[in-house]
Structure 1
Amino acid sequence: MHIDIDIDKDVCIGAGQCALAAPRVFTQDDDGYSMLVPGHEDGSGDPMVREAARACPVGAITVSETASG
């Protein structure tokens, strides 16, 4: 399975809960908005990715799985 992570930049308020929950995958840009850590755009097998999406107070993060191959 391949994990797709989408951050809706128009919804993100920069609360930083995703970066606290899964710091290997999420960080914040210079303006404080959520972004994926370069090289970890696929979630890097981090079990906290879904928790980070749930922690977002405005629901700006969507995590979905697709069949790879």
Structure 2
Amino acid sequence: MRIVVDRDLCQGHGECQAEAPHVFTLPKHGTVEVLDEHPGDAERAAVHEAVRYCPTGAISVTDD
């Protein structure tokens, strides 16, 4: 799994960080930063929830 973020779409809502705090962070006054672009299986469910709840659809996951 690889996480892809469209920074043009990200508006900094922080839903991703709320769902998967070990994978995403949201700096003050910024857009999401991916802490682990290739998270392991333990984070898979949380990452998919982050994708699901992103209000702008800025996050996607691809299989490697």
TM-score of the pair, normalised by structure 1? 0.80
Q: Quick check: which has more Rg, 1 or 2?
A: 1
Please tell me the root mean square deviation across aligned C-alpha atoms, in Å: 1.2
Aligned residue number for residue 7 of structure 2: 9
Q: Which runs of 5+ in 2 are unaligned?
A: none
**Runs of 4+ in structure 1 displaced over 3 angstroms?**
none
1:13-58 CA-partner distances (Å, limit 9, x unpaired): 0000000000010111343311111xx2212320211110111000
Q: Which runs of 5+ in 1 are unaligned?
A: none
Give secondary structure in 2 for the equivalent of 1:53: helix
Structure in which a larger fraction of residues adopt strand: 1
* Cα separation, partners in 2 of 1:65 and 1:16, compared to 1, 3 Å: same
How many residue pairs align between the two structures?
A: 62
Tell me which moved more, 42-51 or 17-26. Answer: 42-51
